[in-house]
Amino acid sequence: MPVVLITPEVMLHKSGPWVDMLQQAAFDVAYPKNPVFTRGSCSEEETIDELSVCDAVIAGGEVFTNNVLGALPNLRVIARSGVGFDKVDVAAASEHNVVLTITPTANHEAVAEHALMLLLSAAKRLPFNDRSARAGEWPMQQSWPVRGTTIGILGLGRIGRSFAVRAGALGAKLIATETNVDEEFVKKHGIELVDFDVLLSRSDYLSIHCPLNDDTHGRFNKTAFAKMKSNCILINTARGGIVVESELIASLESGRLRGAGLDCFEVEPPSPDNPLFRMEQVACTPHVAGSDQKSQDDMGIEAADCIVKLQSGEWPEAAVINRELQDGWKW
Amino acid sequence: MDYSVFKVVRVNSESFPVTSFEQEMYDEYGITPDCCEINSVEQLSEVVRDADAVMVVSEPLSTAAIHAMQQCRVICRLGAGTDKIDVNAASERGIVVANVPDFCVEEQADHAFALLLAVARRLNEMRICMLQGKYHDGRQQSRPLRRLPGRTLGLVGFGRSARAMARRAAGFGMRVLATRRNMSTSDPDADSLNVKLVEFETLLAESDFVSLHLPLNDQTHHLLDRDGLAKMKPGSVLINTARGGIVDENALADVLGVGHLAGAGLDTFAVVDVHESPAMPPKHRLFEMDNVVFTPHVAAFSVDSSREVGYGSVANLVAVLSGCWPSPDRVVNPKVSPRHSLRI
């Protein structure tokens, strides 16, 4: 029987509808020997060893390099649990005839909700206020309103749109940068489309909702920070690599930026000494924005669905990243 | 009109100094308030004795203090709550009590919603892990997170800040219940905001999040007592940006400790007087709990609310000194017979 390796930590040795779906389609389900395999810190050798048993994988954060993909002749499908695929060499996957899918509709609401939590937490200075209240200091300093401010959204994909619906309910003016525009949505929610430099110069709060790729890597660097409205609060629930962390830290220290809400970091896991953790104007969470209870189940179901469909000759168009493989691809 | 003939006493001059907005209004009307910080009951009685008006932020104005006022026409609270003012005693003496009830409606809703999201998505537990360098433990802390769409928010009180909270919750896909004293009439706002008005006990039983939006008075003191907390849905969350005294905080610590409530977001406390600046860690065991997010009674604070409260409270003062009633929604004791009659 073909084998599906399930690597995300939250799904290890857990029953769930995704397991039933795979078993009904006559797959065997297996798990990595190393329980923290999916954190992405294994060598290529160990990665190949863990993956050599399987025909398809429900993948978390493990790294699929060209070398890894070249050494796995049986691998047919990488079904990423989540929407990011920056840990996969897509060209190499296509080269080796491996279909790469994501779970496009499973977690956008979770991420949007988490991003707004970080925004409000930074605006209302919760790390500072909570620490000082527990210490018996009652600083009673002003926080910053959200209503009547301008919230900038970089990227109006599924997550950006979910974020916009919630941000609108807080009474803020919304501006966004997006090339592939859903006109009807933008009109309905009164969003003003602007180019990136205007987004930087006008946003009181700026939330990043674009993928990490060659275009966006390091996009928030000191040049961008210098163009940002003074006292802006930056929210990043997308990917750490979009922000140059050392330059973010400098901008926070100088007061150029008022604060930040961060769920992702340049290097994950970040060093325990990362100065961001000790900054009270920063609300940090450990890359959990996309994984709430419902999205975890939905990601498992959507990923399993991709594998089952591909095996039965269907093509899950909306979830496939390397669509160039469609013609003539067989399990 | 010459307002300089009146003696206006502004207490809390150090704990809550006169803001630029407030000062701008005093200047506008040629008022020079006597600013002071109160250190004893005797001192308070002394400074208010010949005052025509008293401007107050946090200083309690007890029966004795009000009885000491020989010619006071108006007590202006720079804020909304008047739970520290003996309003009945003021009414008996013909003193108008005025407030600015709407000054922080939007701030309070923002703040309450910030606390709700932070507790729901376990900001504190995760942040503490990261501070200790335990990134992966932090990820474990996040499980399971439950998202808001389809979950129920219960608003106790359905005034302006509750309505502002309901608007925010709707954007996050929540079902919203509310309860208030007068349940007999329907409410057009409830209908338009898609808020269902229910009895208090129904609200406690059905809500995943309960948020308090009502003043502290004799009727609401310990409204959420041990019984009330026990009636809340298991695993639910309490948000209090109103007044600490509405909740029995010892009972709250108990239900949080045994896990009946999953968490709380608290901006107000009865066990600590935040205006006293004790500068030492509060002794109450609530303050040792990681599933509570604390803020030091700052929900109302923003630049905008500070402007509104400064302008609004001095406008109340000027109204009474010029022989007029303040705007009706800003009079706390509308049945008072003013010492000097007022026109509308």
Classify residue B339: in a domain, yes or no. no
User: Residue B293, SS3?
Assistant: strand
Q: Which residue has the tokens 């009673």?
A: A140
B145 and B223 share one domain: yes
pLDDT at B18: 95
Which of A239, A245, A258, A302 is an active site residue? A239
pLDDT surpassing 60 at residue A163: yes
- Beta strands B96-98 and A77-80, pairing class: unpaired
Query: What is A108-284's CATH topology?
Result: Rossmann fold (3.40.50)
B203 and B322 share one domain: no
Q: Which residues of A touch B145 (CB under 8 A)?
A: 110, 288, 291-293
Q: Which residues of A touch B136 (CB under 8 A)?
A: 36, 39, 269, 286
Q: How far apart are CA B285 and CA B263, in angstroms?
A: 14
Which among B118, B120, B138 has CB closest to A126? Answer: B118
B243 and B307 share one domain: no
pLDDT at B142: 72
What ipTM did this prediction achieve? Answer: 0.83
pLDDT surpassing 80 at residue A139: no
Over range A58-66, report the average pLDDT.
96
Q: How far apart are CA B196 and CA A271, in angstroms?
A: 48
Specify the number of domains making up chain B: 2
Over range A291-300, report the average pLDDT.
88
Q: How far apart are CA B47 and CA B68, in angstroms?
A: 9
Over range A80-97, report the average pLDDT.
94
| Cβ within 8 Å, pair A130-B144 | no
Classify residue B147: in a domain, yes or no. yes
The region that residue A262 occupies, defined by phi over 0 for left and psi between -120 and 50 for alpha, beta otherwise, is beta
B61 and B135 share one domain: no
B49 and B111 share one domain: no
Classify residue B338: in a domain, yes or no. no
Q: Which CATH superfamily is domain A3-106+291-325 in?
A: NAD(P)-binding Rossmann-like Domain (3.40.50.720)
A161 is a catalytic site residue: no
B61 and B163 share one domain: no
In sequence order, the 6+-apart residues with CB closer than 8 A to the CB of A17 are A297, A300, A301, A304
B254 and B323 share one domain: no
pLDDT surpassing 70 at residue A252: yes
pLDDT at B10: 98
| Cβ within 8 Å, pair A113-B148 | yes
Over range A194-223, report the average pLDDT.
97
Classify residue B79: in a domain, yes or no. yes
Query: Across chain A, what does the average pLDDT equal?
Result: 95
**pTM for the whole structure:** 0.85
B163 and B237 share one domain: yes
Strand order in the sheet with B261-266: B195-197, B175-179, B152-156, B209-212, B236-240, B261-266, B292-294
Closest residue of chain B to A292, computed from CA coordinates? B145
CB B55 within 8 A of CB B11: yes
Which of A46, A192, A268, A280 is an active site residue? A268
Q: Which residues of A touch B110 (CB under 8 A)?
A: 120, 123-124, 145-147, 170
- Local confidence pLDDT in tens for the 344 residues of chain B: 899 999 999 999 998 899 999 999 999 999 999 999 999 999 999 999 999 999 999 999 999 999 999 999 999 999 988 999 999 999 999 999 999 988 888 889 999 999 999 999 999 999 989 988 888 888 887 777 888 999 999 999 999 899 999 999 999 999 999 998 877 777 888 989 999 999 999 999 999 999 999 989 899 999 999 999 999 999 999 999 999 999 999 999 999 999 999 999 999 988 766 555 555 677 789 999 999 999 988 888 777 788 889 999 999 999 999 999 999 999 999 999 999 999 98
Q: What are the tokens at B119?
A: 């507790």
Classify residue B336: in a domain, yes or no. no
B98 and B109 share one domain: no
pLDDT at B136: 87
pLDDT at B137: 87
Q: Which residue has the higher pLDDT, A26 or B103?
A: A26
Classify residue B326: in a domain, yes or no. yes
CB A162 within 8 A of CB A112: yes
Which among B121, B294, B297 has CB closest to A134? Answer: B294
pLDDT at B282: 77
Q: Range of B53's domain?
A: 3-103+303-330
Residue B138 is inside which H or E element, if any? Answer: helix B135-141
B263 and B194 share one domain: yes
pLDDT at B277: 54
Instruction: Tell me which residues of B are annotated as active site.
Output: 243, 276, 297
B94 and B114 share one domain: no
Q: How far apart are CA B299 and CA A208, in angstroms?
A: 27
Q: How many CA atoms lie within 13 A of A323 on its CB side?
A: 5
B112 and B134 share one domain: yes
Nearest to A117 by CA among A277, A272, A233, A198: A233
> Any bridge partners for residue A154, and if so which?
A177, A208
Q: Which residue has the tokens 């302008």?
A: B311
Q: Which residues of A touch B274 (CB under 8 A)?
A: 138, 140
Q: How far A305 CA lies from chain B's nearest CA (Å)?
A: 23
User: Domain-by-domain residue ranges, chain A?
Assistant: 3-106+291-325, 108-284
